[in-house]
Structures are given as structure tokens and as C-alpha cells.
A and B are shown apart, each in its own frame.
Chain A
């Protein structure tokens, strides 16, 4: 039963990825812009163009190209980047950890800020504290992440320059890392000097990504907390002698978190989408920054590889959210 559900789930994931692959493949070939034209100097002859076209397999029909590419992907070969002349999979895996670290740190910040303000707002419901939280979350939500990025650069990069506004790590540092997960690895290796340097680079883009999500979490969680706080079992807990904070944390939070969790899953995928522009803004060497370069250079294999990896991430996030939902809700666990 469980195995069957797992297999169905896996199959739908594969179908989703296949659909994404088709759409991306067709769209970037139909859209204007020719990678060959980008590679050759202005005086190139038609003969040169045709030869290069054949070299990259672009002289075949879209359907033929697609199946050639797909048969490579199935074997783990995503082709060679046209602009960087390197293996696409290697390039993507080299950059993916940077983006994942940024997104995860942003998510943790969003959950921490959003969760704390929601609990505080629910506890102080009807007071000036709640009104202040509402105003702050309204402001955080109405400004998109890339604009927050600019605001933060202005504040903490220019006016009070305490953070680094560009790159992932200071270039003069020796990095002893075995993986590309610099931030997490620096924590594990207890190299907190490096952690601090990485954090100084990562903090502003992470905050820019986190603020709108934190505001959504805060508003939604506070609303469901306030609904749960009127229920009978919460009243009963108050009669037992528990304080309002204890009541919120022990009785209300878990039940109120369920509707928020679904939304956070969806919003987290938006956050990952947001890394593309925010990484560019902070010259952060992640996958999103590379995606923009790939699009500018019409680097078809690289675009396909990056989009497919993003799609895989989204599908996996949804899977994790569903699993957490079942974990938090005992009524879903059996049957």
C-alpha cells in the first residue's frame, strides 16, 4: 500500500519533469536569438555558420534534437555548455550548493522571523503590539525581494558598510573545503572565521529573499493561531493553569501550523525562483546567476540543464511538504 503510493508519486514526478523538459526545450529554440550568431564574428560566411550548426547538432529538427538530448540525459549526460565549453552537469553541480545554502538560510530566517512574530502577535492580540506586527509584515510583503536587495545594499553596503555586497566569499581566503557547501562545511569544520566571512556575504541576499516569505508566514500563522485559540481544548488548557505562551506553544501551534505549512512549501519554490535575480544583484556565484548568463549567451544546453535541476528541486520540495504534513497531522497517518 505504502509502496504503491510511493511508486505513483515517483511516476507523477517523472511525468512532471518530462513535461518541463519538453516546454523548455521547445521554447528556447522557438524564441528569437541564435547561439551560433553569438559565437561567430560579424564577418563569418554562411559556410562557417552551417558548419558550426552541424557541430552542435542544431541543423536537425527540434524533435530529433530533443530525443538526442533526452537519450543523453537518461545516461546522465546533459551535454556541453556552448559558452563555457564545459560539461553542463558539472557546471550545475558546482553552483547548485551555493544556491541551496542561500535558499535554506533564507528559509530558516523566514520561518524564525515569521513564526516568532506570529506567536507574539497572537499572544498580544488586540493590542498595539499586534498592530505594529501587522504594519511591519504588510510593508515587508508589499516590497519584492529584489527591491529589498537594493534597499539593503544601500543601507548596509553604502551608508553603513558592515556587510559585503558582492560575491560569495572574500577571494583572498584559503578555502579548505571538500564540497561546494562552503557555509555548512565551515560550520562542521568549526572554522567560524570562514563562517563569518561567508555570512557577511550571504546575509543581505538571504534577508532580501526571506522578508516577503517571513511576512506571509507571520500573517497566515497568526490568523490560524487566533482561530485555534478560541477552541475548546485551548480554553481547557487555560483552566488547567497554563500561561498564554505555554498554551500557544503546546496546544495551538502544531494545529495552526498545518495550513501554513502547505503555503510555505509553495512559497519556498517562489523563493528559489527569486534567487535568480537576487544572486545577480549581489554577484553571488550561484545557479541563478549562472542561469542569467546562460540566457544572455543563448547557451541552450546549459539553460536546459539549469531549468531541469530547478524543476527537480520544486518537485522534491513538494514531496517533503506532503511528508511533513502527514507527520504533523495524526489523522492522516493511518488510512
Chain B
């Protein structure tokens, strides 16, 4: 059985030639949650955007393959790729406050993909949407569907976006820090909700986060990123039991703990970062030679 998502050797550069993704390889098996963890700027969101075909225009993919259920995204015509991505994937965005169109009602925003891309009847799409709103524990779907985004709270909007993501039964969902913009009490509910829906629907998730606590709760596999490079990948349980890479260990040591709130916050160890920087510089030099 082929992987749901298979990224091999993916590199991306900025216009000035700087590499932002450094030969990234990772696979997500059907029904599996793979966490992408790293500091801001590590390129974890970039990987998600590359898969979904929504990279900013300044970022250019220079090598590597992305296979979505065996289909090579790089080889497809733009329209075919767009339709394939629309049919088989979905995005749970980071900030629910900006991810809904302020001038359109919630209902059409949830059903437009089902009707216009997947060709469902309006009635079927409507039924499906209500079912999903029920699954994300929205009690009054009637009111929510008729609302404009500004009439709902942040937590409600994220529930709507999660329901919309699962509505088309995608094979892969990219969750881009879906809890970061929410306040702490809501974060937990939303995380639990995503985990429950994921289990029920058997959807594979590429879960982008900077929070190791979230990684431990939701994922089976994890890739640790630094400066666009996968420094370690492992089963989540194995990673937490015995982190192999010095950077992973440093990242874990830098995570604040609720059990010891008065301990001072530690930054990631400088010596580890210096070692990583040298390693990456050497790799870049080696990479540039064949790539001009």
C-alpha cells in the first residue's frame, strides 16, 4: 500500500538563492498523524504549503518529488493538480479569525468546495455540513450557518473550519498550528476534537506545530526540523523516550513545564545551534556544487 503523502528530497529556495527547505523527505501513511515540529522559521509551515500548492510566489521548489496517494504533484497540469488537491486534501489554518471570508455567510463557505469542486448536490452538501457541525459539537447549526464570521467566537470559528476540513472526507489534512491562535482553555478542546475526528474518519494529518506537548498528545510519528532540514524523525513515543539528535534534546530541555512553573525559561543550547549551523553550511556547500 502506497503512502498517503510521500515527500522525497524536497528543496526550495528564495530569490536570493538561500535554501529554505533542505532536501526534506518524509512520508505520511494513511490514517497516520505525522507531527512537524521546530522553531519558527524552521520551514514546517512551508512544507505544508508546498504540498497544498500555495507557496508564496517568492519561494521556488528546485528539486524533489511530492506524491499524493501515488500521484506525482509536480507532473500534473496546474488545473488537474488544483482539483486533485481540492478533492483529496484540506487545510486547518492557524488563525480562525482571518481564515473565514468576512463578507460571506458561514454556510456557503462550508459547502462551496463540496458543490463546486466535488460536484455534490446542494442538498447533500448541506446535510453533510450539518452532520459535521454536529460532530464538532456545535449545538445550533441553523444559526451558525446563517452567521457571518464576526458573529462567532474564535473557538467557534475554528470548529467551523475543522468541520469544513473533514466534510469532503479528504485523505490528508494539513493542520497548520491549528491551536496557536486560540486561548489556552480552548486549545485543549480543539486538540481533542481534531484527534477524535481523525480517529473516526481515519484521515492522515500532517500536523505542524512548535509545541512538543501537542506532538506528544496527537501524533504517532514526528519529524524535527531545523532551518528547513529534518534533523530527526522517529515514532513519537520513541522520540520522547530517547531523543537521538542533540537539537531534539535541546528543544525538549527548552520546553516550559506546568509542573515547575517557576523554573526560568531556557533557550535552546547555543553550542548545539553552532554545531547545527556548521553542519548545514557544509551541506549547502555540497548541495550547491551540482546545482550551480
Contacts and interface: CB of A to CB of B under 8 A. Distances in A.
B153 interface: no
A243 B82 contact: yes
Interface string A111-134: 000000000000001100000000
Given A239-B89, A240-B86, A255 B54 contact: no
B244 interface: no
Given A254-B103, A331-B150, A238 B53 contact: yes
Contact of B113 (A125, A240, A254): A240
Contacts of B161: 236
B99 interface: yes
Contacts of A235: 54, 91, 93
Contacts of A126: 57
A239 B82 CA distance: 7
Nearest to A233: B101
B161 to A, nearest CB: 8
B148 A330 contact: yes
Nearest to B87: A241
Nearest to B147: A330
Contact of B93 (A232, A243, A250, A255): A232
B132 interface: no
Given A241-B117, A242-B117, A243-B79, A232 B99 contact: yes
Contacts of B95: 232
Interface string A200-242: 0000000000000000000000000000000111011111111
A239 B117 contact: no
A239 B99 CA distance: 12
B90 interface: yes
A328 interface: yes
B100 interface: yes
Contact of A240 (B100, B102, B117, B150): B117
Contacts of A241: 82-83, 85-87, 113, 117
A251 interface: yes
Interface residues of B, number: 30
A91 B161 CA distance: 61
A329 interface: yes
Contact of B54 (A238, A243, A328): A238
Nearest to A258: B103
Nearest to A333: B148
Contacts of B83: 241
Among A238, A240, A331, find the residue whose CB has the most chain B CB atoms closer than 10 A: A240
Contacts of A232: 93-95, 98-99
Contacts of A236: 91, 93, 99, 161
B186 to A, nearest CB: 18
Nearest to A255: B103
Given A241-B83, A243-B79, A328-B103, A233 B150 contact: no
A149 B82 CA distance: 47
B85 to A, nearest CB: 6
Given A235-B54, A240-B117, A241-B83, A329 B103 contact: yes
Contacts of B117: 240-242
A304 B100 CA distance: 52
B57 to A, nearest CB: 6
B102 A255 contact: yes
Interface of B: 52-54, 57, 79, 82-83, 85-87, 89-91, 93-95, 98-104, 112-113, 116-117, 148, 150, 161
11 contacts: A125-B57, A231-B98, A235-B91, A239-B54, A239-B86, A239-B91, A240-B113, A241-B83, A241-B85, A241-B113, A330-B103
Q: 4 closest Cβ contacts across the A-B interface? A: A241-B86, A240-B113, A241-B117, A232-B99
